[in-house]
Amino acid sequence: MQRFINLILLIAFLLIPVTVCAEFSKTKIAVLDFQLQGEQFANKDMGKIVAEWFITAMVREGRFDVIERRMLQKLLNEQKLTMSGVVDANSATQIGKLLGVKVIITGSLMNLRNSTGINARIIDVESASIIAAESVKGPATADLQDLVIEMSHKIMKNFPLEGYVVNRSGESVTLDLGFRTGVKNGMKFVVFKEGQVIKHPKTGEVLDVERIQTGIITITNVMQNICKATITEETSPDSISYGQLVKSLVETVVQKPHLFVKTSPANATIRILNISTPYHSGMILEPGPYHIEVSSAGYKTVKEWITVEPDKEKSISFHLIAISSRKNSTSNTKTTLKKPETQSQPHVEQVTALTEKQAKFIRMLKSKSIRENRNAAKRITRKRMTDTVILDTVEKLLLKGFMVNSGKNHTDTMAWYCKALGASGLSKYRNTLEKVSSQAPQRKLRGYASKSLQYL
């Protein structure tokens, strides 16, 4: 009898770890082949390849139980169902029940003339509804695998990890989440305490429980069933405590900007002068200023500073002007050879090709409307433009007008010209601002010039 009791206790003891581990259940998902849309892909199996990459990316996260693709194909073949294409609500429910999954990821891979994109839809099997839709896009030359990784991060935000604080010691806490749940060092969690119970006013049904944030923690050490974290933010001393809920904080994935430069003529040479990487259409750049040079035989070379902003595609066009030889164009007529050149007839070689943006701002700066002059300067300042073609025009107008004392509006405009040069951060305009700061007849203008100098 005692042996029987000991055997029962032994079995119970051995089952304890299994019971503990069973408390956490990974979300079971299936990834279907992606449908190909648009222009033809070099590889007709690209939809299957993208699905494989997605499976790998999701498995690496550790928090999903992903159906292996070959097993998925076998089960679907037995039921005469397809793995590709956009599934409808009925198909999602049918496939989900067959595979025993909670979520199905499906979508399309688009190949257009100048870009490639991935669209993904997350379908809840139980409700047969789309719970989220995500998309990423890149140039035609983009690495598809990089786009898949970017997409997997976007999908991840729809499946935050949740757990509880099981211990606090000083500035350190322990959570009931381990590496098998997908927790990794460096992850951040928001901590909540429960607040007011929200009930339906008529039925009395509990709809939700208010969550009050108490702080933010960062994971420092991950073990099998638990993890340690350091408190990085706390709403008040000791506001984070035992038993509070934690939820993984999904950081926004910033998409690096792509640069597209169009030229006329189309075969012009494009260079980025302040980096060593050769230009190619749709290249990925870090946000910041870039010095673009566009040249072609028989055309005037154009150089322009542009600013590439985070998470924004940058497209710019250049229209080069042909260089006409005065000697060749006048050699056939004596009248033209004898005609003297005046100041109102500049050399063709001095003409600079302007982009639409440059032409627009220069037109505003040279307008007879003082209000339009000032508005142009304000926009240049606020955008912190570094385009020297535009800023050189500002500098010339400032040098021409800063000694003129023709009223408040004129002085305000000159002050904005100073701000525009200062906001550029370009040291080439230092001498001009120093001159204005020391010689301008208006005290206000001297003050603005001095302040603008501080940014150079």
Q: What is the pLDDT of residue 272?
A: 94
SS (H, E, C) 59-87: HHHCCEEECCHHHHHHHHHHCCCCCCCCC
Query: What is the rounded CA–CA span in Å between residue 400 and residue 344?
Result: 19
Q: In whole angstroms, how far apart are CA 158 and each of 153, 207, 361, 403?
A: 9, 21, 44, 62
Helix (H) or strand (E) holding 447: helix 443-453
Residue 283 has which token pair?
Answer: 């290249």
Amino acid of residue 91? S
pLDDT at 332 over 70: no
At 174 the pLDDT is 96
List, edge to edge, every strand of the sheet that includes 302-308: 269-272, 288-295, 302-308
More confident residue, 183 or 94: 183
Confidence of residue 220 (pLDDT cuts 50, 70, 90): very high
Q: Where do the DSSP E strands lie in 114-226?
A: 115-124, 129-139, 162-169, 172-175, 188-199, 206-222
pLDDT at position 345: 39
Name which of 160-174, 253-267, 282-296, 433-447 the model is least confident about. Answer: 253-267
Integer Cα distance of 97 and 126 in angstroms: 9
Q: Where is 377: in which H helix or E strand?
A: helix 370-382
How many other CB atoms are found less than 10 A from the CB of residue 382? 11
pLDDT (average), residues 83-92: 58
The pLDDT, as a whole number, for residue 243 is 93
* Rounded Cα gap, residues 122 and 269, in angstroms: 44
Confidence of residue 204 (pLDDT cuts 50, 70, 90): confident
Instruction: Report residue 359's pLDDT band, with 50, 70 and 90 as the boundaries.
Output: confident
Overall average pLDDT of the 26-39 stretch: 83
Work out the burial of residue 421: count CB atoms within 10 Å of its CB; fewer than 13 is exposed, 13-18 middle, 19 or more buried: buried
pLDDT at 331 > cutoff 50: no
Alpha helix ranges (H) inside 100-205? 144-156
pLDDT at 339 over 60: no
Residue 419: closest CA among 454, 443, 390, 369: 454
Residue with tokens 């322990």: 174
Report the mean per-residue pLDDT for the chain. Answer: 80
Query: pLDDT tens digit string along 94-113?
Result: 777 777 888 888 888 888 77
Tokens representing residue 135 in the block: 């998309």
Alpha-carbon gap, residue 157 to 253, rounded angstroms: 10
pLDDT in tens, 380-398: 998 888 888 999 999 999 9
Torsion of Cα atoms, 213 then 184 then 28 then 174, to 10°: -50
**Structure confidence at residue 112 (pLDDT):** 77
When pLDDT is averaged across residues 109-129 and rounded to a whole number, the result is 82
pLDDT of residue 43: 79
What's the rounded Cα separation, in Å, for the pair 439 and 429? 16
* Residue appearing with tokens 């154009």: 302
- Cis preceding linkage at 265, omega within 30: yes
pTM for this model (two decimals): 0.46
Position 357 pLDDT exceeds 90: no
| Minimum mean pLDDT range among 16-20, 84-88, 291-295, 412-416 | 16-20
The answer to which of 329-333, 359-363, 379-383 has the lowest mean pLDDT is 329-333
Q: What is the DSSP string of 215-243?
A: EEEEEEEE-SS-EEEEEEEESSTT-S-TT
SS3 24: coil
pLDDT of residue 45: 84
Mean pLDDT of 305-316: 83
Q: Do residues 420 and 391 make contact, with C-beta atoms less than 8 angstroms apart?
A: yes
Over 50: is that where the pLDDT of 328 sits?
no
Instruction: Report pLDDT for 129.
Output: 80
Q: How far apart are CA 31 and CA 47, in angstroms?
A: 11
CA-CA distance, 298 to 374, in Å (whole number)? Answer: 37
Query: Which residue did the predictor score with more confidence, 85 or 366?
Result: 366
Q: Helix or strand or coil: residue 210?
A: strand
